[in-house]
Amino acid sequence: MRSRFQKEVEKSVQKYTASVHFDKRLYKQDIAGSIAHAKMLAKQGIVSEKDAELITMALASIREEIEQGSFALRGDLEDIHMNIEARLIEKVGDVGRKLHTARSRNDQIALDMRLFAKEAISGTIEKLIELQTALLDVAEANKDVVMPGYTHLQRAQPVLFAHHMLAYFEMLNRDVERFRDCLKRTDVMPLGSGALAGVPYPIDRAFLAKELGFSRLSENSMDAVSDRDFVIEYQAAASLTMMHLSRLAEEIVLWSSAEFGFVELDDAYATGSSIMPQKKNPDVAELARGKTGRVYGNLLAILTTMKALPLSYNRDMQEDKEGFFDTVDTLLATLDVFTGMVSTLKVKGEKTHRAAEEGYILATDVADYLAGKGVPFREAHNIVGKLVQYATEKGKSFRELSISEYKNLSPLFDEGVYSISVETAIAARNVPGGTAPTQVAQQLKRARKIVQGEDA
């Protein structure tokens, strides 16, 4: 490849430009693409059937060498593609040099990345559904548990614990939809685009697409070799997923603290302290919060890399891999440990119920009670606001106030105000998407159908 040059590459340049230390994980995709390419070349009469068979057998042997750890990677050969090609030539001689006919490293790399991304997307969706299932399991196991719902991290209204878990199910469901949508644009076969302009051989791109499992062909050769939208899309979807996981992580950190005491983490998903024997730290959740920033950084890095590149391929695009691989690894690992952590979570229903009964969490329901008697809601809101202020000054709960104290603020109050409870408040929210038990039961049924692949 250096016949054009009079000098060898400087050692520092060789080291600086090498990518084999990270793109080696594309070996399976690279060999699969090369085998399909060899078959196509033979089918089209560009190389002989005998040569294609020899190349295919040698590539399969190289794959075994890599997987058995006997393949020696050479940094001077830059990347995994050239390492495999060099080993192929070692095995079959000049026949191996025919493999690169009608192909460029540009469309070869684009193919490998798309094959890897397709596999990563499928694996991500599978793990998202596993976590959704874990959320459903813990929600159904605690479907009668009552807890405070929060706004501004202040107790707001009582809800069912299952309703709270289903909120995360919905977030993850949007994530599944995003990755499925990303797959549509990833599932495009770029091989045959050459360096940028196509190739002057009678190749069969449709055959290649079928062999490699792609649903369609790229429409423009320049775009095909320079497009990394699918990498960016995966990282954007991954960033949203990590954001959702980080939100859940934050709640688990809070809920498992002594101040809340709503849940207890299984010992297998917590760590201790090097100095304080009593500690049970939610490190898995905390690390997920931290790793979210890491995934965000990978997204910003690839966006910045691509933002000013002229068509078509530029070496800057070698930077598409490390951050992408790291995001895939980080997201899959986080989903995996979260599934285990959620599956083993112990919910302390008595503690959450007490918390839902404390303070003035039923204030909205008292206002609704007055509204039901004909008081305009804004006025009812004002009356109950004064009631809360009065009760706070007296150090009393709503139940501890006498009926005369209620009537001092509105003559419409009667003994019926004492029938307002956490349970009646939850049951009253009997609207689609609400926290009433009948609604949550329907939501759980719908969610179960979704994870089972049925129409919801």
> Residue 158: which residues within 8 A CB-CB, separation 6 or more?
146, 147, 148, 149, 356, 361, 362, 422, 425, 426, 435
Distance CA 295, CA 175 (A): 15
Catalytic residue list contains 152: yes
Residue of 12, 152, 404, 419 marked active site: 152
Question: In terms of Cα–Cα distance, which of 63, 58, 62 is closest to 93?
Answer: 58
Distance CA 66, CA 72 (A): 8
Which CA distances in Å does 142 have to 190, 249, 283, 345? 50, 19, 24, 11
Question: In terms of Cα–Cα distance, which of 384, 217, 414, 229 is closest to 306?
Answer: 229
Distance CA 194, CA 184 (A): 23
Are 173 and 132 in contact by the 8 Å Cβ rule? The answer is yes
Please give the single-letter amino acid code of residue 4.
R
Question: In terms of Cα–Cα distance, which of 178, 175, 161 is closest to 132?
Answer: 175
Residue of 48, 61, 215, 273 marked active site: 273
Question: Quick one: the chain helix, strand, coil %, rounded to 5?
Answer: 65, 5, 30
Distance CA 399, CA 419 (A): 10
The residues pairing with 150 across neighbouring beta strands, listed in sequence order, are 155
Distance CA 112, CA 321 (A): 11
Token pair 């039961």 in the structure block, residue: 441
Catalytic residue list contains 164: no
Active site residues: 152, 273
